[in-house]
Structure 1
Amino acid sequence: MPSDPQEQPRPRQVDMIDLFAGPGGLDVAARWLGLSVYGFEWDRNACATRSAAGLNDRPHDVRDFGPGKAPSAWILAGGPPCQTFTVAGSGAGRRALDEVLRYVDRMGQGEDVSADLATLKDERTGLVLEPLRWALAAHRRDGPFKVIVLEQVPAVLPIWQKIRTVLEEIGYHVRCGILRTEQFGVPQTRRRAILIASLDGARELPTPTHRPYRKGVERAAGDSDLLPWETMGSALSRGYDFHVISNYGTGGDPKLRGRRGSREPSATITGKVSRNKIVDGAGIESPRFSLAEAGRLQTFPLDYPWSGNDIAQQIGNAIPPVLALHVLSAALGKQVSHEDARKVVDRPWIDTRDSAPLDHFARIGQLFV
């Protein structure tokens, strides 16, 4: 790709490399923690948002880079494309799961499998192994990442478990599992497969701060040591009760569309969020979610400067920054309270993107520097 004379040169060193960075879910969380980050993202629409948000914005293909060709960093993070693994996607990744697991074994034995990955029916399937390629390459160069954080849809958990075995063989302490976003203060139900790895001692996945959502169960029910789940109404402050009628039909039946009230968390935000109808308490149709509201349900700041095209898809593809905040902090050996998370998510992005984070998060970010 030709050089852009207006692009700032890549920094020589940052705290975190973010692979498949998208519009900035992990980047936002890293900034909240006081970490410098360089994201690799190829989609030009996501890069337009990154530019407006003050993040590095030149399109990059992660397959063209690696340790030695990228800024040096002590944290490697990434959320590879999920389209071939998600239930709503093509399913090519799920069908190729056994083959992908064999590639992980071969990579652990030192083989270069890039040519074989290129033969997969959908090239996006092989991208799930790019973080492992980067991690192994850094280890061979005697400059290993101290911390690794990966996230994907639940169907990818078997791959994270296989990668865990490879990373443990080279000295990492690794944990992986499925986290529910509403249990970390996100006003939305979404499940993510998470892997955290550290060279600096054992780590645990973050401890939930909120109760799990159950349809028909009151917010006050459940473990009294945990907070009630967050609601759409409290996140958006529309000033009236409403119901969201999903564009999707349960079990494939369009007549059985999902329905959530404003006193519940949102269903998973997807690229089709604008198709969901919203009705008030009298059943009268109300304005559909704005892009800013959809982003807020993902826990991006309300003023996050979404740009480019396919913005709804950008929002739906991103990891919720508040979940990323909890996961990154856990990888650093720390637990974030809901109160501290609210301090940053409710603060305008324009106030935080180019300035020092809140003191508490600055201390977390400086632990391993």
Structure 2
Amino acid sequence: MFAGAAQASIAPTVIDFFAGCGGTSAGLRAAGMRIAAAVDFDAAAAATYRANFPDAEFHEADIRELSLDVFDHLVTPGSRLVFSACAPCQPYSSMRPSGSKPRRQERSLLLTLIPFMDRLQPDALIVENVPGLHKIPGGSTWNRFLRYLDRSGYAVSWKVIDCRDYGVPQRRRRLVLLASRHGKLDIPAPTHGGGARAYSTVRDWIGDLPPIAAGETHAEDPLHRSGALGTLNLSRIQALSEGGSRAEWPEDLWLDCHRRSKGHQDAYGRMRYDDTAPVLTTKCTDITNGRYGHPTQDRAISAREAALLQTFPPNFQFLGSLKSVTRQIGNAVPVLVSEAMGVHIVRHLQALDRGHG
């Protein structure tokens, strides 16, 4: 399922800011880069990251409290340096609670990268976030960051992409920025959909997993575990066909809010095997929070299924409770998106090293 990585004589060195559990790093590693260091202040995500990237130094800290010289030893003559900066997306997400506003310090997290860029002058940069990042009133954070890149001599391309276009079996729109100090670096062309290969489906990624019941953990895969369901919610999902919604329920299964409104039809719904999944959130193993019911089994998707739908490789380890692991998975950058961007960056840097840049 994963694209062949571009091979470089000297693998570019990556510092992954706001690394989370490692979705971006996993993709960049698959693209042929060396993951040297990462930063995140979330303890649960840090534990998962360390388990999967034991050779990378991990700084479990707020980036605003890091010394600017902490990464100096990673820059060596002749090496290429790549920064990844996927700042927490909740401040810009359309799924923020109604009426809530991001705090100023949340909105400006991306700008905390600037002193490190000034000091280390990375060859290339990848930024990923929700589409709303460039729609904050006045566009202050986004526009300030773009102005900084322009003043610093970076050529920049950015676009709101559909992750399905890069093999992710999920309807997930993300804003991606690529920048280079060495000339134009376009967003790579889609690999799936349209005239390319067909979109990946839920079946492609989870169709072969062994069945489990609600509340059960598979004996051979601790991550293949599904949350328990009460009697009423079990009856609700049993009443649904594949791809179905609560519109199929008999009236005795309705909630009071459903009698007042026909909105939020995805809640309690089932996925469809031969379609892409809905966007996976930090609560995607709970049927009450979206269309997260398994296509045919009477339960929510398992943590393993959520990880696969985010295109994590099957051997990727996650540490923590089901709630914590689900949050880590939902917050992650889909691995295939990161890999596609990483392959593109590696080829760009290879061309420079061959004297074609």
Q: Which residue of 1 aligns with 2:122?
A: 145
Aligned: 1:64 with 2:41: no
In structure 2, C-alpha distance between the alignment counterparts of 1:36 and 1:280, rounded to whole Å: 38
Q: Which residue of the partner structure matches residue 208 of structure 1?
A: 190
Residue number in structure 2 paired with 1:325: 339
What is the Cα deviation at residue 162 of structure 1? 4.3
**What residue number does 2:227 align with?**
none
Matched residues in 2 for 1:244 and 1:51: separation? 39
- Aligned partner of 1:290 in structure 2 is 302
| Rg comparison, structure with higher value | 2
In structure 1, C-alpha distance between the alignment counterparts of 2:97 and 2:111, rounded to whole Å: 18
Aligned with 2:276 (options 257, 265, 268): 265
CA distance in 2, matches of 1:319, 1:243: 25
Whole-angstrom CA distance in 2 between matches of 1:145 and 1:274: 38
How does the TM-score come out when normalised to structure 2?
A: 0.69
Task: Write the deviation string for residues 228-256 of structure 1: whole angstroms up to 9, x where unpaired.
Answer: 1000011112479943759xx9x992446
1:84 aligns to what SS in structure 2?
Answer: helix
Rate the CA distance shift 1:148–1:88 in 2: closer, same or farther, 3 A: same
Query: 1:167, CA displacement in angstroms?
Result: 1.0
Indicate the SS of the match to 1:128.
helix
- The reply to whether residue 278 of structure 1 matches residue 293 of structure 2 is yes
- Specify the alignment match of 1:154 in structure 2: 131
Q: Could you report, residue by residue, the CA deviation over 1:254-286 in whole angstroms, capped at 9, with x for unpaired residues?
A: 4464654110111011111111253656xxx52
Structure 1 distance, partners of 2:316, 2:121, is: 33
Q: Residues 163, 267 of structure 1: CA spacing in aligned structure 2 closer, same or farther, 3 A cutoff?
A: same
| Deviation per residue, 1:162-201 (Å, 9 max, x gap) | 4223212221111111111000000111111111110112
| 1:292–1:303 CA contact under 8 A, matched in 2 | no
Amino acid at match of 2:16: D
Q: 1:292 to 1:185 in 2, by over 3 A?
A: same
SS in 1 for 2:282: coil
CA–CA separation in structure 1 for the residues paired with 2:344 and 2:265: 42
2:17 aligns to what?
19
CA distance in 2, matches of 1:67, 1:87: 33
Residues in 2 aligned to 1:91 and 1:62: alpha-carbon distance in whole angstroms:
29
SS in 2 for 1:42: coil
Query: Are the structure 2 counterparts of residues 272 and 252 from structure 1 closer, same or farther at C-alpha, using a change threshold of 3 Å?
Result: farther
Q: Secondary structure at the match of 1:124?
A: helix
Change in Cα spacing, 1:177 to 1:252, as seen in structure 2 (3 Å) is farther
Using the alignment, how far apart are the partners of 1:153 and 1:233 within structure 2?
A: 26
Cα distance change, pair 160–331 in 1 and its aligned pair in 2 (3 A): farther
Tell me by how many angstroms 1:327 deviates. 1.4
Q: Counterpart of 1:228?
A: 198
Within the candidate set 291, 316, 322, 2:330 is matched to 316
8 Å CA contact retained: 2:20, 2:46: yes
The 1:57/1:24 distance shift into structure 2, 3 A limit, reads same
Q: Is the 8 A contact 2:85 2:110 kept in 1?
A: no
Aligned to 1:307: 319
Deviations 1:145-174 (A, max 9, x none): 110111111011354454223212221111
Q: Which residue of 2 aligns with 1:85?
A: 92
- Equivalent residues, number: 281
Secondary structure of the 2:92 match is: coil
Query: 3-state SS of the aligned residue for 2:164?
Result: helix
Asked whether 1:164 is paired with 2:141, we answer no
Give deviations 1:31-86, integer Å, cap 9, x for gaps: 21332221101100001111221344451221122542224351111111111211
Change in CA separation of 1:252 and 1:301 when aligned onto 2, cut-off 3 Å:
farther
Counterpart residue type for residue 75 of structure 1: V
- How many Å apart are 1:321 and its aligned residue? 1.0
Give the match for residue 175 of structure 1: 157
